[in-house]
Amino acid sequence: MRDNRVIAPQLLDWYDRHARVLPWRVLPCRDQDSPVRADPYRVWLSEVMLQQTTVAAVKSYFHRFAALWPTVQDLAAADDAQVMAEWAGLGYYARARNLLACARAVAAMGGFPDTREGLRELPGIGAYTSAAIAAIAYDAPETVVDGNVERVVARLFAVQTPLPVAKPELVALAEALTPRERPGDYAQAMMDLGATICTPRNPACGICPLIHDCDARAQGIAASLPRKAPKAAKPDRTGIAWVARHGEAVVFEERPAKGLLGGMLAFPSAHWDGRDLPPPGAAAWREIGHVRHVFTHFNLSLRVMAGDLDAAPRWGHLVPLSRIDRDALPGLMRKVWDMARADLAS
DNA sequence: TACGCGTGGGC
DNA sequence: TGCCCAAGCGT
């Protein structure tokens, strides 16, 4: 029978030798008399960016944000539109809006709370992120449970119950493993193990530091865990994006703060329900192509229509061609702009 | 509780 | 190619 108390020391010993080097991370320090702690601001910024997002995608964004706004006070004072533009391309744009709201709340209270409960009350900080900041930045003995930890624990204990029903059970098991010593390094070690060894497919059990503690490995079912409830089918949707030119400028709109691509710059388009009507004021529209885009919960095929307005538009706002910043657009709108730009050049 | 919410990479 | 996945949160 496995002894839960040996898991953490074994994992920490592995982490001391194999921790990933990441821009927001302070390397593990065996000298616990004078531990080097990470800056809570940088931990928070990285954790929000990493929500449902890969390390590879986050790195360049983290560097830019940290350079533009080195402290939470700097970010709190930032211009909303610039923050949204810098976030463009990273996805889940509610995170960017919550990021600003959180920065302003933290600046107003003079700094980040140092407890999980205090952090949990801030916008964009939920069950996982509050525990992660408390553990990593303050070395509080909190248990982080992200997708990595769910997978590692489901395998260690051979939990067969499918997610999300299994979540409470996995949390309880994860809490039972969390040590009082170095909980911050332990939290990062669990996630590093899940990201590099205990991977979703083809786990590298042969080099896993916990191979002798793993029930799923013993039963030969590691790769099949955690089980997950079947996902709903993704519907196909169609719509139209309008690239409306007026002189040497193009019409953009800022999307409503809530909902899909909320708060982002976009070409005018309607509800993507297949019966989108053209915006008023154009002499003639011509179809220049289609773009396809995959969202979390539907597939989109968007007709791209271009036209020249005979008068200044009463909707949206004009952006001069020379000042259109592709990087400030969400991914879907980058595709539309690439198509329109190629059409303009031809 | 279950759904809405982006994007890119791996296989 | 299509599907799965990635340090989840808000409602």
Q: Within this chain, do residues A340 and A243 fall inside the same structural domain, yes or no?
A: yes
**pLDDT of amino acid A272:** 87
Q: Note whether A303 and A240 are within 8 A (CB).
A: yes
Q: Within this chain, do residues A164 and A223 fall inside the same structural domain, yes or no?
A: yes
Nucleotide nearest to A51 (CA to C1'): C8
A178 touches strand C (CB under 7 A): no
A238 touches strand B (CB under 7 A): no
Of A123, A138, A153, the residue that ends a domain is A138
A329, part of any domain = yes
**pLDDT of amino acid A1:** 59
Among residues A102, A98, A125, A123, the alpha carbon closest in space to that of A262 is found at A98
The CATH code of the domain that includes A247 is 3.90.79.10
**pLDDT of amino acid A282:** 65
Q: Within this chain, do residues A3 and A144 fall inside the same structural domain, yes or no?
A: yes
Measure A233 CA to B2 C1' (Å): 15
Q: Within this chain, do residues A337 and A298 fall inside the same structural domain, yes or no?
A: yes
Q: Within this chain, do residues A154 and A206 fall inside the same structural domain, yes or no?
A: yes
**pLDDT of amino acid A11:** 97
pLDDT surpassing 80 at residue A181: yes
A28, part of any domain = no
* Average pLDDT score over residue span A12-24: 96
pLDDT surpassing 80 at residue A34: no
A33, part of any domain = no
Confidence band, pLDDT 50/70/90 cuts, at residue A278: confident
> What does the alpha-carbon distance between residue A119 and residue A128 come to, in Å, rounded to a whole number?
11
Nucleotide nearest to A53 (CA to C1'): C6
Q: Within this chain, do residues A219 and A277 fall inside the same structural domain, yes or no?
A: no
**pLDDT of amino acid A313:** 87
pLDDT surpassing 60 at residue A31: no
| Length of chain A as a residue count | 346
Residue nearest to nucleotide B7 (CA to C1'): A91
A53 touches strand C (CB under 7 A): yes
Cα A38 → chain centroid: 20
> What does the alpha-carbon distance between residue A250 and residue A323 come to, in Å, rounded to a whole number?
10
Q: Which domain holds residue A271?
A: 236-345
Quickly count: other Cβ atoms within 10 Å of residue A22's Cβ. 16
Confidence band, pLDDT 50/70/90 cuts, at residue A53: very high
A90 touches strand B (CB under 7 A): yes
Query: What's the total number of domains in chain A?
Result: 3
A22, part of any domain = no
A300, part of any domain = yes
Q: Within this chain, do residues A105 and A6 fall inside the same structural domain, yes or no?
A: no
A297 touches strand B (CB under 7 A): yes
Nucleotide nearest to A52 (CA to C1'): C6
